[in-house]
Structure 1
Amino acid sequence: MKIRLFLLCVLSSLLLNANMASPVQEGTFGTRPFISQFVNILHENLRITIDEKFEYADFEVAYTINAEKSGTQIPLLFYASEYYENFEVTIDGKKVDLKRQEDFWDLYGIDKEKLINFEYLYTRNRAEVGEIENQFKHGRSEHISLNDFLYFETDISEGEHIIKVTYKATNWRFKHNRINEDSFRYALSPAKYWKSFGTLNITIDASNVKDEIAINIGTPKIGEINGVSTYHFNKLPVEIIEITRVPKLSGFTKFLLNIESFWLAIILMSFIVLYHVWKMYRFRKKHPKKKFSGPAFIGAIAIPIVFIFMLMLTTFWIDTSIGEPYASGRESYGAFFQFLYFPKYLLYYVIFSILVDFLFKKLHAKPKE
């Protein structure tokens, strides 16, 4: 019965740890538009302005397009995932009404002519939208969601026009380890499906951000990364632009992170274990012939419990040292499950206490006359 109970505790700990909260807090996934065959993108200006706390960013995107024919068409199909607010599109300074994805997908079966140029979004059976090849770090890919499409129909004349898109975005947060990895993202990959690819200017205004940031598109042509930086491209630089915050950590915090909470708890517990060993030694010195050792028995039960609380304490200590908004809290969340490992810690320390007490008993036993 005891063995079954022990196995049940171990299995429960594995299942509960596997069911911890998702390490990904999704933010806005902004992207270039998916384009119909009658529209060429001649030039794109992208400006990203990030707020002081690295929580929100304002995206302003201006496209210079060339329409090859006049009339009502669907020149742009936007994938706007989880934008925070104020998504707006203007053409030549005039605001246009955006339509929801329900209308767009209804048109697929009714009027294929309007959507024939968007077939690359579908899987073979056309029952669902396929995967867009935007590969993130940590091995994650972005999937197109029907609910995130916005599009508009407009009557435009042949020739050049300016389309502007603005919206407020939220950051992405990866909490797969102790420190949050915060970033803003914008996908350039839809340009692979464009009829033509013009030039691209990117301006990133991080002058209000208190922390250092990293950008995955290289060295700016003008300005500094932690100020206002400007880039110019005539080809696709990356699949996804990622602007990442670099947390500020003290030397002491880095030291604690290198040790980690488990080994920090081991170091602190070593003093308690040494005291326990000393108490067992003193007991056996006075009572070498007693069958049971009180200090050995009490310590064998108490120290595994103290060790669990010490693990929790060191976990909270490291998270507190990291501080907000950098600490993910993921380790602290998992610390409460350490009680499920009590049978394992108890088994190890009971064996340790028995062996130590046995050695001290032999050491202090008087020779037979």
Structure 2
Amino acid sequence: MASPYIDGSLPSSMYSIKDCRVSKEKIVVKILKGDEGYYAHYHVIYQIISDVEKEVPLVFVGRQLYANQKILVNNVTVDQIDIDKKSKSFIQKNLNRFELKFVEHESYEVQPDELIYFKAKLRKGENLIIIDYDAELAQNRFGFERKFTLEYSLYPSKFWKSFENVEFLLEPSDEINVESSNAGGFTKIDNAYVWKIKNFDNDLKIEFTPQYNWFQTMLLTLQPMGIALIFAFISGFIHWKLLKNRRERYPKKYNWLVPLGILVVAILFYTVFFLSYDLIDWVLNQKSKHGYYFLLIIITIPFFLLIYGFLTWFADVQINKRVNRLNEQK
């Protein structure tokens, strides 16, 4: 958050630099689970020391912002001002992107729906500004294992006078694994991950993945193919036992369990394979995209029938030979 540069009002633009200093910026982010997956709730606190009493325009950049914006200035609710891109000179369209200006000769790429614009009546001395909002988390939806990316705009903070560092707290509702962060190392206090950030040149990005329990980990390791192969092995073993029993009882008759078993095992294998996608998604409590895996089923059915059919026929032949040999010895 900072005061935007507005053409024709340089003193107002410079106010945040010359007459204000931020004694503290603290961001508390709670990772919550909604109907469509995880999202982030931001609670941003600014402690501002002002040398004079004055109203100042401020713009807050909320990456992936989508709902529940709330602004408090010294415990008083402040309404958000709609940004008119045609009349406000601090946000301009440049080709297919929008640029926000906090100083005259420097711009910052934004989307208009990520901006919270308001006017704060600052009193002389200490002021408290609190901004709350919900934001989406960037995530890969392809495959079962999710990786989430949390983004926070640090760029405006560098325009405040005497700014030292930003305290960033990440409070997940469930256990997570922090995979990477461009803010360096963190300290874990209870269930919170804490960063002290001093470099404001780049936006903060934190990548994390959920922690899975042993059953979820097992399913993720097996994947649908592994689960289907286990069922195929079990059903194939049962098929072999049935083949053996029938051959021993009726060595001279046609073994109709050969084609029937091939068909049943194939149906079981592909049914389990197909349903395993929904099973894993259900256990993980998510909805994932998996591409056109039914095409894989269509393509592989002939090969499965050919390979399993040959193995079954070969097993039946060997069982029949052994049974006939034993009968001849009697």
Which TM-score applies when normalising by structure 2? 0.64
Match of 2:225 in 1: 262
Q: 1:242-321 residue pairs with structure 2 within 5 A?
A: 242=206, 244=208, 246-250=210-214, 252-280=215-243, 286=250, 294-315=256-277, 318-319=280-281
Deviation at 1:107, TM superposition (A): 0.5
Higher relative contact order (CA 8 A, sep 6+): 1
Task: Find the aligned partners of 1:245 and 1:350 in 2 and give their Cα distance.
Answer: 39
Task: Find the aligned partners of 1:264 and 1:169 in 2 and give their Cα distance.
Answer: 38
Match of 2:8 in 1: none
Task: Find the aligned partners of 1:262 and 1:204 in 2 and give their Cα distance.
Answer: 40
Gap regions ≥5 residues in structure 2: 6-12, 101-108, 325-330
Are 1:296 and 1:353, in contact at CA under 8 Å, matched by a contact in 2? no
More helix by share: 1
Match of 1:198 in 2: 163
SS at match of 1:84: strand
Are 1:49 and 1:204, in contact at CA under 8 Å, matched by a contact in 2? yes
Q: 1:1-369 residue pairs with structure 2 within 5 A?
A: 32-33=1-2, 35-36=4-5, 37-38=13-14, 39-40=16-17, 42-43=21-22, 44-48=24-28, 50=30, 57-62=41-46, 64=48, 74-76=57-59, 78-79=61-62, 81-90=64-73, 95-101=77-83, 103=84, 105-108=85-88, 115=89, 118=91, 122-123=93-94, 125=95, 128-129=97-98, 144-153=110-119, 162=127, 164-170=129-135, 172=137, 174=139, 175-181=141-147, 185-191=151-157, 194=159, 198-202=163-167, 204=169, 206=171, 209=173, 211=175, 214=178, 216=181, 217=183, 218-220=185-187, 224-227=188-191, 231-236=195-200, 239-242=203-206, 244=208, 246-250=210-214, 252-280=215-243, 286=250, 294-315=256-277, 318-319=280-281, 323=283, 326-330=284-288, 334=290, 340-356=295-311, 359=314
Structure 1 residues 358 and 83, CA gap change in structure 2 (3 angstroms):
closer
SS at match of 2:65: coil
The size of the alignment, in residue pairs, is: 293
Are 1:284 and 1:357, in contact at CA under 8 Å, matched by a contact in 2? no
Structure 1 residues 354 and 245, CA gap change in structure 2 (3 angstroms):
closer
Are 2:168 and 2:197, in contact at CA under 8 Å, matched by a contact in 1? no
SS at match of 1:99: coil
Question: Relative to structure 2, which stretch is displaced further, 70-79 or 256-265?
Answer: 70-79
Are 1:197 and 1:235, in contact at CA under 8 Å, matched by a contact in 2? no
Are 2:138 and 2:150, in contact at CA under 8 Å, matched by a contact in 1? no
| Root-mean-square deviation (Å) | 4.6
SS at match of 1:268: helix
Deviation at 1:263, TM superposition (A): 1.2
Deviation at 1:308, TM superposition (A): 1.8
Task: Find the aligned partners of 1:232 and 1:358 in 2 and give their Cα distance.
Answer: 68
More strand by share: 2
Identity of aligned residues (%): 10
Structure 1 residues 48 and 145, CA gap change in structure 2 (3 angstroms):
same
Deviation at 1:265, TM superposition (A): 1.9
Deviation at 1:93, TM superposition (A): 5.9
Are 1:289 and 1:361, in contact at CA under 8 Å, matched by a contact in 2? no
AA of the residue aligned to 2:301: L
Are 2:64 and 2:136, in contact at CA under 8 Å, matched by a contact in 1? no
Are 1:261 and 1:311, in contact at CA under 8 Å, matched by a contact in 2? yes
Gap regions ≥5 residues in structure 1: 1-31, 109-114, 132-142
Deviation at 1:269, TM superposition (A): 1.3
SS at match of 2:87: helix
SS at match of 1:270: helix
Structure 1 residues 63 and 191, CA gap change in structure 2 (3 angstroms):
same
Structure 1 residues 61 and 244, CA gap change in structure 2 (3 angstroms):
farther
Task: Find the aligned partners of 2:41 and 2:136 in 1 and give their Cα distance.
Answer: 8
Task: Find the aligned partners of 2:298 and 2:246 in 1 and give their Cα distance.
Answer: 26
AA of the residue aligned to 1:48: V
Deviation at 1:47, TM superposition (A): 3.6
Q: Can you list the C-alpha shifts for 1:250-281, whole angstroms capped at 9, x where unaligned?
A: 3x443343232311220221121233345556
